[in-house]
Structure 1
Amino acid sequence: MLPQPVDEAKERAVAAYLGMWNDMADAAVTSDWQSPKLALNATADALSRISRGLYADHYNGLVTKGKPVNHPTVESVEPAVAPTTVDIVDCGDDSQWLKYRADTGQQADDGPSGRRHIDAKVKKAVDGSWKVVDFAIQGVGTC
């Protein structure tokens, strides 16, 4: 049986969402805000937000070690017949994804870490790929 368009859209959008976080974590090890990998699964506001955050870390002499833990679920798919937009909600955990001083290797005090509510919008591009176009991360303890 062939996959239905809605199921395929959900699967590809979640894969892009998880890919975005993996690409970001890989680039964050050196705070490489120019990593070409960042554009594989993110574009528009999402890519800009990631690049700006990594540039700020680079500028401030910070790197990030570890990986975030994500548990995305699809909130909605639009339109129902031939989906082009998928909204995702997540309870991401950044407690094992921490910032360190690049020069000394000492952990940086960048505020609390833990479980956070995340909303993301993933869209189908003209080339058929799916990319995160925007995301919003709430404070620790919001999920």
Structure 2
Amino acid sequence: MSIEDKARKDALTVYRGMWQDFVDAGATSDWRSPKLGQYATGTALTNMSRALYADHYNGLVTKGQPTFQPAVSSVDPPGDPRKIVVTDCADATRWLKYKADNGQLADDTPGGRHLVNAIVEKQSDGSWKVTEYGVHEVSTC
């Protein structure tokens, strides 16, 4: 396997891992979960922690499991990547917010498919982490 192929594979693994850790933390809105920093850093980590804190503050938890279809859309520089862009169409249809105190749906807004763009960068220790991500509105993919 080439260096670039390994980097692509590692970036997709890290991307999926970041979202799974976020899903796990969302079940209790644990914005302090140590798992969040396993695959994310910088803006990505800050945004996840803030979203979970907001849910905690508002008495919400997230239940269910989204699905992902990530693909590498760019590698920079080619051959020996340091930065990889991942594009995804995440389906949050079965991943919704509920009131923590009574288990009722928080609103009547259905989940759906969201375009997600993420930047995965090689860290100084050689590991890969998601440094930024953007989730677009429902029905963007």
Same-fold call, TM cutoff 0.5: yes
Contact 1:112 1:140 in 2 (8 A): no
TM-score by length of 1: 0.96
Amino acid at match of 1:41: Y
Amino acid at match of 1:44: G
Unaligned 5+ runs, structure 2:
none
Unaligned 5+ runs, structure 1:
none
Q: Which runs of 4+ in 1 moved over 4 A?
A: none
Equivalences for residues 108-119 of structure 1 within 5 A: 108-109=106-107, 111-119=109-117
Q: Secondary structure at the match of 1:40?
A: helix
The offset of 1:112, in angstroms, is 3.7
Q: 1:86 aligns with which of 84, 87, 94?
A: 84
Specify the alignment match of 1:101 in structure 2. 99
Please give the alpha-carbon distance, in whole angstroms, between the structure 1 residues aligned to 2:44 and 2:93: 22
Q: Over aligned residues, Cα RMSD in angstroms?
A: 0.9
Please give the alpha-carbon distance, in whole angstroms, between the structure 1 residues aligned to 2:109 and 2:30: 22
TM-score by length of 2: 0.97
How many correspondences in the alignment? 141
Amino acid at match of 1:33: W
Q: 1:25 aligns with which of 10, 23, 26?
A: 23
